[in-house]
């Protein structure tokens, strides 16, 4: 049957509609694909931003924890040093008083001189005793009467000198020097107190120490 003008026009219109629909579908599909790609990239970027933020947060937290631990350690060391200084200061008061007491030094020097003479009875060297100038004036007569006599019985001469700059005394022999001065006692006490405090702090629970 011959195709009429009307049917031909209708056919063209139908084909045009189909072509338009296909074009619209393609545009829609392309738009959806583009949107999906944009969303995927955005999600990747967001995930990277979150991961970087978490990494920085963990790093800052670790640094903060380390800083806190260092600060706590420094505070603990400072506290221990302060306590050590206070305790040593308290302990040194009676020691300083004893080392400046002529009666105490007389007895102590006498005992040491006797022990030295007994231990080194064959020696004919000189036992040099060094004290502060003012203490030498107080001990001079006694040294000649007591310490010198005790040491001389063992063939040991006693030489009492007054050149020491601090309270206490020094014994000098051929074998070496024995120092019983404020500084020497202070150093000894500081070591003992520090060791004791270290044991106390080390025995404390970690939380309590902080």
Return the HEC string of the chain: CCCCHHHHHHHHHHHHHHHHHHHHHHHHHHHHHHHHHHHHHHHHHHHHHHHHHHHHHHHHHHHHHHHHHHHHHHHHHHHHHHHHHHHHHHHHHHHHHHHCCHHHHHHHHHHHHHHHHHHCCCCCCEEEEECCHHHHHHHHHHHHHHHHHHHHCCCCEEEEECCCCCCEEEEEECCEEEEEEHHHHHHHHHHHHHHHHHHHHHHCCHHHHC
Per-residue pLDDT at 162 exceeds 80: yes
Residue 68: inside a domain: no
Query: Which residue did the predictor score with more confidence, 114 or 187?
Result: 187
Number of structural domains (the chain) is 1
Q: For the full predicted model, state whether its pTM sits above 0.75.
A: no
Per-residue pLDDT at 170 exceeds 80: yes
Asked if 101 and 191 touch (Cβ cutoff 8 Å), the reply is: no
| pLDDT band, residue 12 (cuts 50/70/90) | low
Q: How far apart are CA 143 and CA 136, in angstroms?
A: 9
Residue 74: inside a domain: no
Closest listed residue to residue 173, CA positions, set 128, 118, 114, 124: 128
Beta bridge partners of 129: 160, 171
Residue 25: inside a domain: no
Host domain of residue 112: 102-174
Residue 36: inside a domain: no
Average pLDDT over residues 14-21: 68
Residue 116: inside a domain: yes
According to the model, what pLDDT value does residue 210 have?
47
Query: 39-48, 61-70, 144-153, 163-172: lowest mean pLDDT where?
Result: 144-153
Average pLDDT over residues 117-143: 75
| pLDDT band, residue 151 (cuts 50/70/90) | low
CA atoms within 13 A on the CB side of 127: 30
Asked if 125 and 174 touch (Cβ cutoff 8 Å), the reply is: yes
Q: What is the mean pLDDT of the chain?
A: 75
Residue 152: inside a domain: yes
According to the model, what pLDDT value does residue 41 have?
85
Query: Which residue did the predictor score with more confidence, 75 or 149?
Result: 75
Say what angle helices 133-142 and 102-119 make with each other, to 10 degrees. 60
Query: Which residue did the predictor score with more confidence, 6 or 35?
Result: 35
Residue 127: inside a domain: yes
According to the model, what pLDDT value does residue 1 have?
46
Residue 94: inside a domain: no
| pLDDT band, residue 147 (cuts 50/70/90) | low
Per cent of the chain over pLDDT 90 is 0
Per-residue pLDDT at 206 exceeds 70: no
């Amino acid at each position: 049957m011959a195709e009429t003008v009307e049917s031909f026009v209708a056919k063209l219109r139908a084909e045009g509609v189909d072509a338009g629909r296909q074009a619209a579908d393609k545009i829609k599909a392309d738009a959806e694909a583009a949107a999906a790609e944009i969303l995927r990239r955005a999600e990747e970027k967001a995930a990277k931003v979150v991961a970087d933020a978490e990494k920085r947060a963990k790093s800052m937290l670790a640094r903060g924890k380390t800083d806190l631990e260092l600060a706590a350690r420094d505070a603990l060391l400072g506290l221990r040093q302060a306590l050590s200084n206070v305790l040593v200061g308290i302990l040194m008061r009676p020691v300083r008083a004893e080392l400046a007491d002529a009666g105490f030094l007389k007895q102590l020097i006498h005992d040491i001189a006797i022990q030295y003479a007994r231990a080194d009875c064959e020696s004919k060297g000189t036992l040099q005793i060094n004290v502060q100038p003012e203490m030498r004036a107080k001990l001079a007569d006694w040294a000649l009467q007591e310490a010198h006599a005790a040491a001389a019985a063992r063939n040991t001469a006693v030489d009492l000198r007054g050149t020491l700059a601090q309270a206490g005394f020094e014994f000098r022999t051929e074998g070496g020097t024995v120092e019983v001065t404020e500084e020497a006692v202070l150093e000894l006490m500081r070591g003992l107190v520090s060791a004791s405090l270290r044991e106390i702090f080390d025995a404390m629970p970690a939380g309590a120490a902080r």
